[in-house]
């Protein structure tokens, strides 16, 4: 276990205990000497971790410490790179740029032994069928979800029937070939799924919808769990 991984494990151990835990107990779980443990605790304290206690008494981590990016494990870095690569290939330009910018920020603060993993990881995204093309700005759609604002859309269903809807968007599903907007539809008075490639125009209505997004999301998830297997 490299030192950065051991520091991460130490933080996790301290967070799992509400009361002081002895240095020997921590050292045993990490499979290091007590002397090494004391050095690791000192390092975390220098980085801002509010670890209180002393040798012979025990240690406890007070709430509020956020792990810096250098605490990522190798598996976490691979997961981030794999996810970013999927986003880059399967979403719109804004999200693709956001994924790359996030990786750049992480790379700027990673220790040397982990930084090369961002470029050298061998986890790849396989090819997929051609993505459908959206005719509306997906950035505007995501903003409406974040702000809980009503959208007025022109939509054509799978049978080719066109209609104008006022919807309350609260979730966006990304699939290999299509994207699906989940929203409360004022016309149908129910939750509906809208393929984004079938939305031909979209206008943001500067009105906050009545039911909070998290409530709509909870209701929608409940309908999924109630479906027969």
pLDDT of residue 229: 45
pTM tops 0.85, yes or no? no
d(CA 80, CA 118): 9
State mean pLDDT over 162-172. Answer: 96
What pLDDT was estimated at residue 163?
95
Give the per-residue pLDDT at 1: 62
| DSSP letter for each residue of the chain | --HHHHHHHHHHHHHT-SS-B-HHHHHHHHTS-HHHHHHHHHHHHHTT--EEEETTTEEEEPTTPPPPGGG--HHHHHHHHHHHHHHHHHS-HHHHHHHHHHHHHHHHHS-HHHHTHHHH----PPP-SPPPPPSS-HHHHHHHHHHTEEEEEEEE-TT--EEEEEEEEEEEEE-SS-EEEEEEETTTTEEEEEEGGGEEEEEEEEEE-SS-HHHHHHHHHHHHHTS--
Place 4 in a pLDDT band, splitting at 50, 70 and 90.
confident
pLDDT in the model for residue 118: 76
Choose between 215 and 76: higher pLDDT: 215
Which range scores top for mean pLDDT: 17-21, 32-36, 45-49? 32-36
pLDDT, mean over the chain: 86
pLDDT, tens only, 58-115: 899 887 665 554 567 778 888 888 999 899 888 888 999 999 888 887 777 777 767 7
């Amino acid at each position: 276990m490299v030192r950065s991984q051991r520091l991460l494990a130490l933080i996790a151990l301290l967070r799992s205990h509400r009361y002081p835990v002895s240095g020997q107990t921590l050292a045993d779980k990490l499979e290091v000497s007590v002397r090494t443990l004391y050095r690791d605790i000192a390092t975390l304290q220098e980085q801002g971790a509010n670890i209180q206690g002393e040798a012979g008494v025990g240690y406890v981590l007070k709430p509020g410490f956020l792990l810096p990016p250098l605490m990522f494990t190798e598996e976490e870095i691979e997961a981030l790179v794999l996810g970013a690569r999927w986003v880059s290939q399967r979403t719109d330009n804004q999200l693709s740029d956001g994924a790359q910018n996030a990786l750049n920020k992480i790379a700027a603060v990673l220790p040397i032994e982990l930084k090369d993993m961002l470029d050298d990881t061998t986890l790849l995204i396989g090819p997929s069928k051609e993505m459908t093309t959206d005719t509306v700005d997906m950035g505007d759609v995501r903003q409406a979800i974040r702000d809980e604002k009503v959208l007025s859309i022109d939509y054509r269903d799978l049978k080719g029937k066109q209609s104008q809807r006022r919807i309350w968007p609260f979730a966006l599903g990304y699939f290999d070939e299509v994207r699906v907007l989940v929203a409360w539809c004022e016309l149908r008075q129910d939750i509906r799924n809208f393929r984004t490639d079938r939305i031909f125009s979209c206008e943001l209505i500067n009105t906050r919808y009545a039911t909070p997004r998290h409530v709509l999301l909870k209701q929608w998830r409940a309908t999924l769990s109630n479906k027969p297997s």
